[in-house]
Amino acid sequence: MADWRTRSLWLSRGPYEPAPPLDGDLDVDVVIVGGGFTGLWTAIHLKQADPSVDVAVLEQCVAGYGASGRNGGFAMTMVGRNLHDLVRKVGPARARATRLAMRGTLREMGAFVRDEGIDAHLTRPGLLTVSNGPEQDERIRQDLEASQRLGLDDLRYLSGPECRALVAGERIRCGHFEEEALLLDPAALTRGLRDAAVRLGVRVFESTPVHALGLPGTHVLARTPGGDVRADRALLATNAYAHAVPALRRWLFTIVASIIVTEPLTGEQWKRAGWAGGAGVEDKRIMPHFHRPTPDGRILWGGRDAPFAPSGPDPRQDRSPHVFRRLEETFRWTFPQLDDVRIDRGWCGPVAGTVNCFAHAGRLGRGRRVVYALGYAGHGVGPSHLTAKIARDLLLDRESELLDLPMAAKRPVPLPPGPLRGLVLNGSQRVLQRADDGDRGPLTGLALRFLQ
């Protein structure tokens, strides 16, 4: 994994000195497996709650090697697919509580980054969600209605011309705008979180893969090539890599998400893009596209195809020329006025999905010693901060109202076993893709209603 810098544009940049691997045995209160957003935020929340808790983070490669160093850098209030869907799945009271908690979380993230002096290029230009077709108009309407019904009023309707005043996509029909959303450089944030955790007294070991996690007697034992870590409690914050754990694989699946970026645009090309204010933009396909300006003046374009990886994460899936080509097609379709802008590169990353489309945090195995927090699919940058607080409360055995949020209170929905698993996952993805590609046939419609 020495080539971690090639895994995304974000990871390729800046000087970074990985922490040394674990060398010898260690005794701690809490061992955290995984140095992405979930693992690092949990370490920080634990230390902030109780500075005397001894915490170690074990990361198989470098902090941010997983999805946290490869994503689009949109930190949104959204938990799950969208607000309308969340209400349907968890009811209005929990959906409202989740949304309010997420609004608080984004503000806390912003304050933490500022107070710790983390140079993560964090901005708050808002999120513009747009419709490019009649079905998408309907989804815009449903979210606005859900926001109003819950008394949130945090989404503002924008007509086509109002949207196009923010970004010059001539096919945009209407949209909604949310002010709370942040844009950031995800690898810079992960690295900054690692350093902040270390300043709080957390011990971080990189290049330290955990080969086995056992429960011998009254403690947890994490085995690594350089030594064993004995702990009172453990957190599995390994996202898609949790595929290796059969009990989690029952309800967790791996999908591979992709991004392409252009070369830096000239001032004149930015004028043609008509991107006043630099908001993050997402469309309302079922498997949406998202795009944003990067701090060095490129357009980042991602989403759409997200194939299942039946055997879990595999570095060979970190590049997919076929998916990059399809992404470029929709980039060109959206911005015909930028036909002279070249695509510079693309990358992919594994994420863990769940049937509920939001992450779950809970306890695993006998006793209360092993906690997991994972399964955000493509919406984890913001939600990982909140889910990490739930993980903290589970690890510290603290009663808290956060445990009533869906991530902790809703049980994960199991997938069918054996060969049926692949059939269901591949079949559902084909249905979603066909619906997004405009198939209005009765079979696709029926299957879509069933899935939803």
Query: Which of 47, 84, 379, 385 contacts ligand FAD by CB under 6 A?
Result: 379
DSSP string, 47-70: HHH-TTS-EEEE-SSSTTTTGGGT
Q: Is residue 44 at the binding interface for ligand FAD, with CB under 6 A as the rule? A: no
For residue 39, the minimal CB distance to ligand FAD (Å) is 6
Q: Is residue 74 at the binding interface for ligand FAD, with CB under 6 A as the rule? A: yes
Q: Distance between CA atoms of 173 and 136, rounded to whole angstroms?
A: 9
Residue 374: strand, helix, or coil: strand
Q: Is residue 388 at the binding interface for ligand FAD, with CB under 6 A as the rule? A: no
Q: Which CB atom, from 331 or from 376, has the smaller least distance to ligand FAD? A: 376
For residue 443, the minimal CB distance to ligand FAD (Å) is 31
Q: Is residue 34 at the binding interface for ligand FAD, with CB under 6 A as the rule? A: yes
Cβ neighbourhood burial of 298 (10 Å; 0-12, 13-18, 19+): buried
Q: Is residue 324 at the binding interface for ligand FAD, with CB under 6 A as the rule? A: no
Q: Distance between CA atoms of 383 and 77, rounded to whole angstroms?
A: 7
Q: Is residue 193 at the binding interface for ligand FAD, with CB under 6 A as the rule? A: no
Q: Which CB atom, from 373 or from 447, has the smaller least distance to ligand FAD? A: 373
Q: Is residue 129 at the binding interface for ligand FAD, with CB under 6 A as the rule? A: no
Other beta carbons within 10 Å of 138: 12
**What are the residues facing 183 on neighbouring strands?**
74, 123
Q: Distance between CA atoms of 340 and 383, rounded to whole angstroms?
A: 37
Q: Distance between CA atoms of 295 and 275, rounded to whole angstroms?
A: 14
For residues 359 and 237, the answer to whether their CB atoms sit within 8 Å is no
Tell me how far CA of residue 153 lies from CA of 140, 141, 207, 264, in angstroms.
14, 13, 46, 36
Q: Is residue 257 at the binding interface for ligand FAD, with CB under 6 A as the rule? A: yes
**What are the residues facing 224 on neighbouring strands?**
227
Q: Is residue 239 at the binding interface for ligand FAD, with CB under 6 A as the rule? A: yes
Among 13-21, 33-41, 120-128, 333-341, the segment contacting ligand FAD (CB under 6 A): 33-41
Q: Which CB atom, from 381 or from 447, has the smaller least distance to ligand FAD? A: 381
Q: Distance between CA atoms of 384 and 359, rounded to whole angstroms?
A: 8
Q: Is residue 254 at the binding interface for ligand FAD, with CB under 6 A as the rule? A: no
For residue 416, the minimal CB distance to ligand FAD (Å) is 24
For residue 359, the minimal CB distance to ligand FAD (Å) is 8
Q: Which CB atom, from 76 or from 95, has the smaller least distance to ligand FAD? A: 76
Q: Which CB atom, from 43 or from 259, has the smaller least distance to ligand FAD? A: 259
DSSP string, 391-425: HHHHHTT---GGGGSHHHHSPPPPPPPTHHHHHHH
Positions 209 through 228 that interact with ligand FAD (CB under 6 A): 209-210
What does the buried/exposed string (b/e) look like for 319-347 if buried means 16 or more CB atoms within 10 Å of the residue's CB? Answer: ebeebbeebeebbeebbeebeebebebbb
Query: Which of 44, 47, 68, 354 contacts ligand FAD by CB under 6 A?
Result: 68
For residue 242, the minimal CB distance to ligand FAD (Å) is 8
Kindly determine how many residues on this chain lie close enough to bind ligand FAD according to the rule CB under 6 A. Answer: 41
Q: Is residue 349 at the binding interface for ligand FAD, with CB under 6 A as the rule? A: yes
Q: Is residue 206 at the binding interface for ligand FAD, with CB under 6 A as the rule? A: no
Q: Is residue 61 at the binding interface for ligand FAD, with CB under 6 A as the rule? A: yes
Sole residue written with tokens 């019904």: 149
Q: What radius of gyration, in Å, describes the C-alpha atoms of the chain?
A: 21
Q: Is residue 386 at the binding interface for ligand FAD, with CB under 6 A as the rule? A: no
Among 12-20, 27-35, 145-153, 427-435, the segment contacting ligand FAD (CB under 6 A): 27-35
For residue 99, the minimal CB distance to ligand FAD (Å) is 15
Tokens of 217: 């007697």
Tokens of 422: 């692949």
Q: Which CB atom, from 124 or from 272, has the smaller least distance to ligand FAD? A: 124
Query: Which of 101, 122, 196, 351 contacts ligand FAD by CB under 6 A?
Result: 351
Query: Which of 95, 343, 374, 435 contacts ligand FAD by CB under 6 A?
Result: 374
Tokens of 247: 């009990």
Residues 6+ positions from 342 with CB-CB distance below 8 Å: 262, 263
Other beta carbons within 10 Å of 108: 13
CB-closest chain residue to ligand FAD: 380
Tokens of 74: 């949109």
Q: Is residue 175 at the binding interface for ligand FAD, with CB under 6 A as the rule? A: no
Q: Is residue 125 at the binding interface for ligand FAD, with CB under 6 A as the rule? A: no
For residue 71, the minimal CB distance to ligand FAD (Å) is 3
Q: Which residues bind ligand FAD (CB under 6 A)?
A: 33-39, 58-61, 65-68, 70-74, 76, 209-210, 237-239, 241, 257-259, 302, 349, 351, 374, 376, 378-382, 384
